[in-house]
């Protein structure tokens, strides 16, 4: 039975991925600072990437999913040097340990929302220029380049998923990264909804079930591609999200406008044709259905 190690398993994507890997009959080890209640039955190693003894952690592991990010996109420019200091040395140590331990495949969660920066036109495919305007996006690209280097030098087999704005169950609305969860939580609580700028910033939203399905597809993939966009291909503004979430809950939103943020690109929509063509993956959760699933989960979860 293949053994999968999920780094950053306590986060939103990691929690859902661990559950899906276990349901698929794979051996799963989660790694992170804290184990969420949903993964109470998952084998767990507590720690941080910077401090972990990596060779023992990776011994006997077939597949690694790296979901650990450095900071958050909108605050990363407050201290750009720290993002590099956090992201690069620990990731290189990780790749060295993967090489020594003979890891068969490394799947990296990159950021389709930040690595392309102000690139045009949309939807963006994987050949679009990568000119990020946040240190977070630069940190993701650095890891992508090191993966390519380790593939060239040592034959490390890897796949990169440049993920759009994921949403769904197990997303913490307080994290500052996850508009859908934040909007739904505030609607449920009767709280005002923060809108940064004019609310016309457009993003590509993809349900977590479709994200996890793509990650599983990356384990089976044997085609030529190594870097894949992962999104719905549909753009929605902040105002669209607020309107649609309010309609699903049959509630009236109370917008609270804030100053626009410098790290927000105006439009980001991803073309996932390469992923669909090479793996057979297709998004399966429609927008309104995804909102309802997320709202139902949040309604059943005590405010946090």
Active site residues: 136
> Cα–Cα distance between 101 and 196 in angstroms, integer?
45
- B/e letters for 48-83, b = 16+ CB within 10 Å, e = fewer, are ebeebebeebbeebbbbbbbbbbbebbbbbeeeeeb
> Are the CB atoms for 155 and 95 separated by under 8 Å?
no
CA 35 – CA 29 distance, rounded (Å): 11
Residues 6+ apart with CB under 8 A from 99: 150, 154, 156
- Say how far apart CA 296 and CA 109 lie, in whole Å: 27
Instruction: Provide the β-strand partners of residue 235.
Output: 204
């Amino acid at each position: 039975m293949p053994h999968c190690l999920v780094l950053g398993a306590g986060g939103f994507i990691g929690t859902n991925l661990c559950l899906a890997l276990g349901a698929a009959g794979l051996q799963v080890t989660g790694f992170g600072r804290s184990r969420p209640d949903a993964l109470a039955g998952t084998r767990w190693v507590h720690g941080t990437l910077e401090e972990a003894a990596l060779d023992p952690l990776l011994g006997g592991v077939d597949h690694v999913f790296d979901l650990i990010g450095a900071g958050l996109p909108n605050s990363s420019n407050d201290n750009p040097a720290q993002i590099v200091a956090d992201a690069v040395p620990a990731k290189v140590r990780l790749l060295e340990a993967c090489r020594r331990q003979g890891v068969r495949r490394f799947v990296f969660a990159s950021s389709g929302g930040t690595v392309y920066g102000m690139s045009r036109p949309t939807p963006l495919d994987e050949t679009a220029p990568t000119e990020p305007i946040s240190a977070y996006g630069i940190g993701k690209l650095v890891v992508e380049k090191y993966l390519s280097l380790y593939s060239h030098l040592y034959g490390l087999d890897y796949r990169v998923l440049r993920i759009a704005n994921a949403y769904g169950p197990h997303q913490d609305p307080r994290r500052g990264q996850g508009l859908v969860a934040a909007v739904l939580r505030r609607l449920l609580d009767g709280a005002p909804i923060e809108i940064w700028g004019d609310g016309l910033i457009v993003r590509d939203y993809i349900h977590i079930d479709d994200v996890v399905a793509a990650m599983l597809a990356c384990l089976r993939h044997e085609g030529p591609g190594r870097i894949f966009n992962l999104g719905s291909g549909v753009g929605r503004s902040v105002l669209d999200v607020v309107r649609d979430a309010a309609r699903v809950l049959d509630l009236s939103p109370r917008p609270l406008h804030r100053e626009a943020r410098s790290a927000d690109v105006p439009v980001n929509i991803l073309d996932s044709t390469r992923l669909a063509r090479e793996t057979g993956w297709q998004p399966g959760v429609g927008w309104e259905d995804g909102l309802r699933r997320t709202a139902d989960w949040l309604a059943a979860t005590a405010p946090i």
